[in-house]
């Protein structure tokens, strides 16, 4: 598996002062792992955005901190914010190439279901991410699911139907979980019931409450109130 290189620098500021980094186009981050001391970092915002689009959470990245030796890491947790949903913080987990790891990989749906395009059914995706366990070098970029087998409304694709590469195993023990199925189109009677429910309006008890505005000044108070 090809690795992608990402350059970082040690971070010397923390907390609310991270706003200064973000204003300068930087992203605060943390790297940690089994037997690895947690270390705060800062990265170039444009570079980390570009690399995350390619690597996601299941592709090994060679993280080089300053002049140090590159470490094999995975994006472990990424936070987004701002108007455009840009990355505001990233966690990296150091992996050992000889040590098993658990990671979520996306499910890619391929093919066409005749129950959808001929019988006007609706494709229902029960799972779009699946947790697997394997060595880092065996970590798949995705698991492909061919939905062409869904040619009627009775058939389903479950975890037990997934083709998992050698050296990779599913973490989920319940292999009967549905990955994909096709629901039949709603009858005229069901559609009429839905229309009646919409026309009935929203009950007074379900009216929206005034939104709560959270600022930096009251953020701590909100956290304490939520924990009660």
131-160: per-residue pLDDT in tens?
Answer: 999 999 999 999 999 999 999 999 999 999
Query: Does the structure show a pLDDT above 50 at 18?
Result: yes
Task: Using pLDDT thresholds of 50, 70 and 90, give the confidence band for residue 13.
Answer: confident
Task: Give the contacts of 179 (CB within 8 A, at least 6 positions apart).
Answer: 107, 125, 126, 127, 145, 156, 157, 158, 159, 161, 162
Per-residue confidence (pLDDT) for residue 217, from 0 to 100: 44
Q: Is the pLDDT of residue 211 over 70?
A: no
Averaged over 148-176, what is the pLDDT? 96
Residue 216 scores a pLDDT above 70: no
Domains for the chain: give ranges and CATH numbers: 4-95 (2.40.240.10), 102-188 (2.170.120.20)
Instruction: Please tell me the predicted confidence (pLDDT) of residue 191.
Output: 62
The reported pLDDT for the residue numbered 100 is: 94
pLDDT of the residue at 212: 47
What percentage of the chain reaches a pLDDT higher than 90?
Answer: 66
Average pLDDT over residues 103-114: 94
> What are the φ/ψ torsions at residue 43 (nearest 5 degrees)?
-130, 160
* Model confidence pTM above 0.85: no
Does residue 190 register a pLDDT over 50? yes
Please tell me the distance from the alpha carbon of residue 191 to that of residue 185, in angstroms, as a whole number. 10
What pLDDT sits at residue 15?
Answer: 84
> Is 92 a residue whose pLDDT tops 90?
yes
Mean per-residue pLDDT for 50-74?
A: 92
- 62 burial type by CB count under 10 A (0-12 exposed, 13-18 middle, 19+ buried): middle
Please give the pLDDT value at position 16: 82
Q: What is the pLDDT of residue 6?
A: 95
**C-alpha–C-alpha distance, residues 166 and 157, integer Å:** 20
């Amino acid at each position: 598996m090809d690795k992608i290189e990402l350059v970082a620098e040690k971070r010397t500021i923390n907390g609310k002062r991270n706003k200064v980094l973000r204003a300068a186009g930087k992203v605060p981050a943390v790297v940690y792992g089994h037997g690895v001391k947690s270390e705060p970092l800062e990265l170039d915002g444009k570079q980390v955005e570009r690399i995350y689009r390619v690597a996601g959470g299941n592709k090994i990245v060679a993280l080089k901190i300053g002049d140090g030796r590159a470490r094999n890491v995975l994006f472990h947790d990424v936070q987004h914010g701002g108007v455009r949903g840009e990355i505001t913080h990233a966690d990296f987990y150091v992996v050992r190439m000889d040590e098993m790891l658990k990671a979520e990989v996306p499910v890619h749906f391929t093919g066409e279901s005749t129950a959808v395009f001929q019988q006007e059914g609706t494709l229902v995706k029960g799972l779009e991410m699946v947790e697997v366990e394997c060595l880092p070098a065996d970590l798949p970029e995705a698991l492909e699911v061919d939905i062409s087998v869904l040619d009627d409304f009775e058939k389903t694709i479950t975890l037990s139907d997934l083709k998992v590469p050698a050296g990779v195993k599913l973490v989920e023990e319940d292999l009967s979980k549905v990955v994909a199925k096709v629901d039949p189109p709603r009858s005229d009677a069901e559609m009429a019931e839905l229309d009646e429910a919409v026309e009935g309006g929203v009950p007074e008890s379900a009216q929206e409450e005034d939104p709560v505005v959270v600022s930096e000044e009251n953020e701590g108070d909100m956290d304490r109130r939520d924990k009660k």
